[in-house]
Amino acid sequence: MESEHKEVSTPTANLAIDHQKSSGISTPRAILAIDEPQRKEAKPHVGKYGSAISLALSDSSDDDQVSANFETVDEAKEVALQVRYIHAQGGFDMRNWISNNNEILSHLKESTQVDGKTLGVQGDQWSERVLGMLWLPFSDTLAFSTAISDDIKNFIKLKSRPTKRQVLRCLMSIFDPLGMISHYTIQGKILMQNIWRKKLEWDDEIGASSQLYNSLQMHVFVDASEEAYCSAVYFRVEGRGKVQCTLVSAKAKVAPLKTLSISRLELLGAVLGTRLAEFVQTHHTIPITKRYFWSDSNTVLSWIFADHRKYSAFVACRVGEILSTTNPTEWRYVPSKENVADDGTKWGKEPNMDFGSRWFQGPDFFRENQRCIPKDSALQQLSPFMDEKGILRCEGRIEMMDDLAFDVKHPIILPRKHRVVELLILYYHHNMKHAHQETIVNELRQKFHISRMRTEVKKVIRNCQYCRIRKAIPHTPRMAPLPPARLAVSHRPFTYVGLDYFGPILVKIGRSNVKRWVALFTCLTIRAIHLEV
């Protein structure tokens, strides 16, 4: 109960929670709330009114209230009368008894009506505070209230931005000693911590960047056809377990009168997408955590990832402009059926003006787990999965072998044409003492799965300076011009000769062996040979 002279407040609750009922107990449990007297007046009556004195002196009371629960209604009646009698001995008139059982209230013959309204509960119900908690006796539920000032109402309606002081005031106005709505209040605490990191003053307005979202991603789709090329920019926001996507800006242009190939038109669409992305990022103050550029043209993606200087001027200039504002790692491939920019490139295709269409809300895979791999991806054949560290690995048919390491059974999937992969191959190449490429491939396959691994290994070994020197073929020196004696075609044979002499050789004449020497004459012009013994 509350003090006789205390003014009754009218709280405004924003959440109510049902109490937990004990199963298998048919006897009603009564909850009693009374005013706190001067405790020293109760001590002389400990022997006769032990239950009432223990209640008054227990820890379940604050400065002006005491609460208790009982297994039976009769026990509650008895203790209530004892408490009233003890306080009457000290000159205290006990009032405002509160219980969830009408029989107890009728027995005490006290008024139980308290003006008040609790938001979050259907209809007007009588509510009262018990030990700081808002309690609805008739429904036997606990509720929670917060003071909503005019300033808080204004920033809830987006009429103004709150300050750090107002956010803290709203957060601390919720009294939840039992932690029943901790999953709700923690959201405000996280927001307050993010505000505190910005080192704002107490009365500084909070910027829009303090909103509770995990990341703001910008996705740019580009596409082209024979008639037009188009680009569309989307924002993808993750926060509070939800994903929201919306169209931010789009632009479409008619293809030039001069006939261009589809690949070059796709390249023009990519240039348009990078320009539109820069425009959107410049005119939005909210920081963008990640950017993604999506194209269904493998030709354009190959131009972006390769050295653009070796291409024609048309391709080199436009790829150079793309790389001046984007990074090749930001470009991704998307299947044509998932490319929303395709809707802005087709003549005669009836546009869908529904706000829920993919043109305004983005493709369906936006709302899926970002770690999901498109069904058309070549990685699907590897049965990829994420390990506990977030590393992409592939499954195999030898995972039941106990004597193999986890990395061997589930190698890490790595992309080709990446600087990290090149450094990894180079490390294994040096560690294996510049061994043959098949040795390097075998060692890499023990832990990694790289698409077209043998091609990547060949490229790294081909650029290794030590291997190039070791495998180099000696240069054949240039021969001098032939002398005139070798070119005397108008002369008789053996006009110019070369002479050699060798021996002795044993020649058998009759029964004896004799030594002989041989003179070898060769014609320098026609290479004829004459021997003289």
Break the chain into its structural domains and give their ranges. 29-112, 150-210, 215-366, 391-471, 484-532
CATH of 391-471, one of 3.30.300, 1.10.540, 1.10.340, 3.30.1370: 1.10.340
Q: Does pLDDT of 26 surpass 50?
A: no
**pLDDT in the model for residue 530:** 94
**pLDDT in the model for residue 132:** 66
**pLDDT in the model for residue 38:** 45
Same fold, 215-366 and 391-471: no
Distance of alpha carbon 475 from its chain centroid, rounded? 56
Cα 255 to Cα 49, 250, 276, 312, distances in angstroms: 96, 16, 17, 20
Q: What is the pLDDT of residues 346-389, one digit of tens each?
A: 766 666 677 777 888 888 777 765 554 455 566 777 778 877 78
Distance of alpha carbon 112 from its chain centroid, rounded? 55
Mean pLDDT of the chain, nearest integer: 76
**At 504, phi and psi to the nearest 5?**
-80, 160
Q: Do 119 and 126 form a contact (C-beta atoms < 8 A)?
A: no
Cα 149 to Cα 169, 170, 181, 374, distances in angstroms: 10, 9, 22, 49
Average pLDDT of span 21-36:
35
What is the Cα–Cα distance from 89 to 41, expressed in whole angstroms?
8
Residue in the block written with tokens 């990191």: 197
Percentage of the chain exceeding pLDDT 70 = 75
What is the Cα–Cα distance from 68 to 89, expressed in whole angstroms?
22
What is the Cα–Cα distance from 249 to 291, expressed in whole angstroms?
15
Q: What is the pTM (predicted TM-score) of this model?
A: 0.43
Q: Do 222 and 343 form a contact (C-beta atoms < 8 A)?
A: no
Decide the pairing of beta strands 30-34 and 66-70. antiparallel
- Name which residue leads in pLDDT, 325 or 365: 325
**pLDDT in the model for residue 20:** 34
Of 25-39, 338-352, 416-430, highest mean pLDDT: 416-430
**Would you state the structure tokens that stand for residue 87, as one six-digit string?**
């306080």
Q: What is the pLDDT of residues 167-184, one digit of tens each?
A: 888 888 888 877 777 777
Q: What is the pLDDT of residues 436-466, one digit of tens each?
A: 989 999 999 899 988 889 999 999 999 899 9
Residue in the block written with tokens 């809830």: 156
Q: Does pLDDT of 499 surpass 90?
A: yes
CATH of 215-366, one of 3.30.60, 1.10.10, 3.30.420, 3.80.10: 3.30.420
